[in-house]
Amino acid sequence: MAGPGVDLTASLDYIVTAKAAAVRNREFDYDLLVRPMEGRMMRTVWRIVRHREAAEDAIQDALAVIWKKRDAVARHPNPEALILRIAVTAAYDALRKSRRRLRHEAAGMAGERADAAAPPVTKALEDRDLRAAILGAIASLPRRQATAVLLHFVEEQPYEEVARAMGCSGSTARVHVLRGRAALVRMLAGGFPDLAGAADPSGKESRP
């Protein structure tokens, strides 16, 4: 709660104005452009990677890229979108590095299913198995397709926001998402025949 004499509206207006000035003047200000995004970056990376050490490495890599491209971030018409894309790309790279671990986890869970003659496999285990398989498949997609799929499904960004983050047109963003999803369905169809045309790493039904 704000203390006495603190005008929250004025403070918010100041932050927005200062942020706009930093972008307009092409100045990189970490506190204005990146710090407000730190929590979202961490949540995004964790939802994709789901492994503490890999997530920490991905965040550090993302921050290093942001610093290296700080001038581009400051000049970008939507810095938040670019920062989010950098975080997603870092998570994708971490995912590629951990493909072997994901395969081992999926194989282990498949073994549990085969050995569990008594109690049936729970839906939670099946969901975990499916998620591991989807993430492993995403790691094999071309970088831009994977980035578009993760932005659209994991971050639930509409095609227009995906386009802004990736620096392309809305139609191109849609193509990346649809091609990526189609590739995931093809890769996963053998092991998960009930996927029925929608491979969504967020665990929800995909949106058109």
pLDDT tens digits for range 157-205:
999 999 999 989 999 999 999 999 999 888 888 766 655 444 555 555 4
pLDDT at 11: 47
What does the domain layout of the chain look like in residue ranges? 10-98, 99-138+140-208
C-alpha dist (Å) from residue 34 to 23, 29, 63, 95, 167: 12, 8, 9, 23, 19
| List of residues 6+ apart from 7 with CB closer than 8 A | none
Q: What is the pLDDT of residues 79-126, one digit of tens each?
A: 999 999 999 999 999 988 877 665 555 555 444 444 444 344 444 545
The correct answer on CATH 3.40.50.620 for the domain covering 99-138+140-208 is no
C-alpha dist (Å) from residue 96 to 41, 93, 99, 103, 158: 18, 5, 5, 11, 25
How remote is the C-alpha of 172 from its chain's centroid? Answer: 18
Take residue 24 and report the two structure tokens written for it. Answer: 């307009």
> At 136, which amino acid appears?
G
Residue 43: is its pLDDT beyond 80? yes
